[in-house]
């Protein structure tokens, strides 16, 4: 792979959402470069690439930057179709399932990790208290039984899905549906040893987890943040997909817009609109550190506003 097309994942090892991206790279048996970012803001060497988007992970390919695991999955699939992340025609269902696992399954797991983890540094807890808008930190300890109840009830859905002996959630092949459902379990086992008992009680899911671990992460090579910025500077963004004239937002290519996550970490990213479709929104930006870059987001879950 040449410098223009090297896959660079900006992440940290403890990030559960990054584990999704690492497993997608693993399922596709890809080689990739790894930039380890700090676990908390500020991230001065990442912000030039994302324009302020502060969630983890981010995938960079030359001067194109893909934010959010949902879009990272779709972009990896577009560039490296085989083996597929969406076996048996399950692109719609698998991507829709991201929403369930990012909320119903992830939120109680994240709450329990915050309440019970012994290894999470205080600086990270302080940062996430501001960041996780969905979590009521004043009730964290009181809500432990509630959160465990929610986690178990959602885990039961996985056990039920695997009850007929199938190897993966949607059949005989592993895909994004499995990866997106698996990452909260990975988080629970990393951070809350007390939850091992809960997880081990579901025998089908337990065996499926082992299959998920065996996917691995592909071939990872560490590089510096400076090298990633250099890769952006020396590359040109891929041709943009263009702006859908039928889109209800009635925007045009070249319009100044902001793109903001709808849920938490709501930092608007400003730029010149280059792509607007049902699957993606992308803006062109310019910084001294990166030259011209295009920062891409999934359409689902992101708000696009005309810049004031
Ligand atoms: N919708 C995003 C969510 C990503 C997310 O919330 N990541 C967590 C880390 S696992 C995060 O950003 N934490 C705060 C941070 O890294 O600054 C995605 O799918 O990528």
Nearest CA owner, ligand 1 atom 15: 55
191 and 141 co-located in one domain: yes
> At 257, is the pLDDT very low, low, confident or very high (cuts 50, 70, 90)?
very high
Assess whether the C-beta atom of 296 lies below 6 angstroms from ligand 1. no
CATH code of 116's domain = 1.20.1050.10
Position in ligand 1 atom list of the atom nearest CA 98: 19
Position in ligand 1 atom list of the atom nearest CA 68: 20
Q: 31-36 and 7-11: which strand pairing?
A: parallel
pLDDT of 2 reads: 54
Q: 302-306 and 256-261: which strand pairing?
A: antiparallel
Q: What is the pLDDT of residues 6-17, one digit of tens each?
A: 999 999 999 999
The domain total for the chain is 2
91 and 67 co-located in one domain: no
What domain range includes position 42? 3-83+220-306
Whether the predicted pLDDT of 175 surpasses 90: yes
213, 229, 257 — which closes off a domain? 213
Nearest CA owner, ligand 1 atom 17: 55
Whether the predicted pLDDT of 3 surpasses 70: no
Q: What is the pLDDT of residues 260-295, one digit of tens each?
A: 999 999 999 999 999 999 999 999 999 999 999 999
Mean pLDDT of the chain: 96
Whether the predicted pLDDT of 108 surpasses 70: yes
158, 189, 213 — which closes off a domain? 213
State in Å: Cα 18 to ligand 1 middle. Answer: 8
- Sequence-ordered list of residues with C-beta below 8 angstroms from that of 106, at least 6 positions apart, any chain: 16, 183, 184, 187
Assess whether the C-beta atom of 298 lies below 6 angstroms from ligand 1. no
Find the mean pLDDT for residues 218-247: 98
Nearest CA owner, ligand 1 atom 2: 68
User: Two tokens at 216?
Assistant: 């691995």
189 and 262 co-located in one domain: no
Mutate which of 12, 35, 42, 55 for ligand 1? The one with the most ligand atoms within 8 Å of its CB, which is 55
9 and 125 co-located in one domain: no
Assess whether the C-beta atom of 101 lies below 6 angstroms from ligand 1. no
Assess whether the C-beta atom of 15 lies below 6 angstroms from ligand 1. yes
Tokens 């295009």 belong to residue:
294
213, 246, 273 — which closes off a domain? 213
Find the mean pLDDT for residues 202-226: 98
**Nearest-angstrom CA–CA distance, 83 and 87:** 9
> What's the residue count for the chain?
308
Nearest CA owner, ligand 1 atom 6: 55
């Amino acid at each position: 792979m040449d410098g223009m097309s090297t896959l660079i994942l900006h992440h940290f090892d403890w990030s559960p959402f990054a584990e999704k991206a690492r497993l997608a790279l693993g399922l596709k048996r890809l080689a990739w470069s790894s930039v380890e970012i700090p676990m908390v803001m500020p991230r001065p060497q990442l912000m030039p690439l994302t324009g302020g988007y502060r969630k983890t992970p981010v995938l960079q390919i030359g001067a194109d930057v893909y934010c959010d695991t949902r879009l990272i999955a779709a972009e990896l699939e577009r560039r490296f179709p085989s083996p597929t992340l969406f076996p048996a025609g399950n692109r719609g269902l698998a991507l829709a399932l991201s929403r369930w696992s990012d909320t119903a399954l992830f939120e109680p797991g994240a709450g329990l990790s915050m309440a019970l983890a012994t290894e999470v540094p205080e600086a990270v807890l302080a940062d996430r208290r501001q960041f996780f808008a969905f979590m009521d930190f004043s009730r964290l300890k009181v809500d432990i039984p509630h959160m465990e109840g929610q986690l178990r009830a959602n885990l039961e859905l996985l056990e039920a899905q695997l009850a007929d002996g199938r190897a993966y959630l949607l059949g005989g092949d592993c895909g994004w549906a499995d990866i997106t459902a698996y990452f909260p379990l990975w988080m629970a086992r990393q951070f809350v040893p007390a939850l091992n008992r809960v997880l081990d009680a579901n025998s089908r899911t337990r065996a499926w987890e082992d299959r998920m671990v065996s996917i691995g992460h592909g071939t990872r090579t560490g590089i510096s943040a400076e090298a990633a910025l250099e890769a952006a500077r020396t590359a040109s963004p891929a041709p943009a997909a263009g702006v859908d004239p039928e889109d209800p937002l009635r925007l045009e290519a070249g319009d100044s817009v902001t793109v903001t996550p709808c849920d938490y970490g709501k930092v608007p990213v400003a730029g010149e609109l280059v792509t607007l479709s049902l699957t993606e929104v992308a803006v062109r930006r310019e910084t001294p550190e990166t030259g011209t870059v295009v920062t891409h987001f999934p359409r689902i879950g992101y708000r696009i506003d005309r810049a004031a």
